[in-house]
Amino acid sequence: MSVTAAKGFVAGGVHCGIRKNGRRDLALVRSLVPATGTAMFTTNRFLAAPVVVSREHLELAQPQAVVANSGVANAATGEQGVADARASAVETARLLGIEPEQVIVLSTGVIGAPLPLEKVLSGIQDAALHLSHWGGATAAEAIMTTDTRPKESIALGTGFTVGGMSKGSGMIHPNLATMLAVITTDYPLEPGEAIEFLRPAVDTSFNAISVDGECSTNDAVVLLANGASEIERTPETDAEFALCIRKVCGELAKLIVADGEGMTVLAEIAVRGATNEAEARAIAERVATSPLVKTALHGHDANWGRIAAAAGSAKYNGGYAQLDPDKLSITIDSVQVLVDGTPTGDEPVLANGHCAIELDLALGTGSANYLTTDLSYDYVRINADYRT
């Protein structure tokens, strides 16, 4: 019930016929009291229809509900796809007694397939009948595609709650990593304020993970805040709320990577001592997305040479991020393998499903963290057979 853990929120997840084997494939989340909110979307220029429509809606009204389907992305579907996304919002609004512009529409699944609108509309009607405070779990299940398990998180503040659900397993890469997330809170926010809390939380979580280096057409993170906790807001509670948002986003992002398609190793990349944070992030991202690093992780091979080579080729500002080979140190699972550009000869044993890689550039104070996975045979199999 994570997405409904905060006061004043209900949700439901149903099977409307898009997915096979009776799997839930349509979710509905709403606030029972007037809410404010925001969303961040993929920066992929090939935008899916629901992203186009939801961005328009956010410019016109404060979001009160989210409707999401899985199985079909409603991307690369032309004008009909946009019309179908709008029709989904209209039906949701009709059933909930709100305006269509107050509905955020999300879709995830196969790109290029038309949205089966009649099934979606029927599912919306069914979900509206089953909205409940306990429906968060079924909603989290309904947004899954190749995910192997639902992803939920809760953070309890002093007198308020932040809860959320996400989905994602493949096509995961920053600038929103195919992933969706819906976060709800009963903390009081004024219209226009939500983005100032959501953006920094997303930048350090969903925008700092990678499974396969692919940026989706449909990614979205939605935040709804309804103030139902009725707590007295202070600078101290604002700071606590910001921490709770970061915690929920961070946990949901980590769950996405841990459920990466075909993954057997979760790797945490930490870059320290870069010239600035932007260059640290560029290096961390380059290491995290290197196919050679990721395949070495799958082979449990601490091939630090691949890490060093990736770090030295991190693109930044029209060139490459600064790196001095004679100052670079690399530590893998607490074992120093390179110190000030000199190999130590030590070899870590990568025997479990987790690997910590730390690079110290010794050039400044810039730092960044990243989560990634190995690249396995199963990843190729899952994506080769995705549509069949």
Which parts of the chain are beta strand (E)?
Answer: 9-14, 26-31, 36-41, 65-72, 103-110, 151-156, 161-167, 180-185, 209-210, 220-225, 266-274, 315-316, 319-320, 329-332, 335-339, 342-343, 354-360, 366-373
Q: List Cα–Cα distances, 140 to 29, 201, 208, in angstroms.
A: 10, 20, 22
C-alpha 203/C-alpha 285 separation (Å) is: 13
C-alpha 372/C-alpha 284 separation (Å) is: 10
C-alpha 196/C-alpha 44 separation (Å) is: 22
C-alpha 8/C-alpha 238 separation (Å) is: 20
Written as one letter, the residue type at 291 is P
Question: Residue 246 class from Cβ within 10 Å (0-12 exposed, 13-18 middle, 19+ buried)?
Answer: buried
Question: Residue 239 class from Cβ within 10 Å (0-12 exposed, 13-18 middle, 19+ buried)?
Answer: exposed
Which tokens is 207 given? 């925008």
C-alpha 270/C-alpha 83 separation (Å) is: 44
C-alpha 102/C-alpha 93 separation (Å) is: 8
Annotated catalytic residue, options 178, 185, 237, 372: 178
CB contact at 8 A, 382 and 376: no
Q: Which residues on adjacent β-strands are paired with residue 156?
A: 161
Active-site residue, 178 included? yes
Pairing of strands 220-225, 266-274: unpaired
Task: Give the catalytic positions in this structure.
Answer: 178
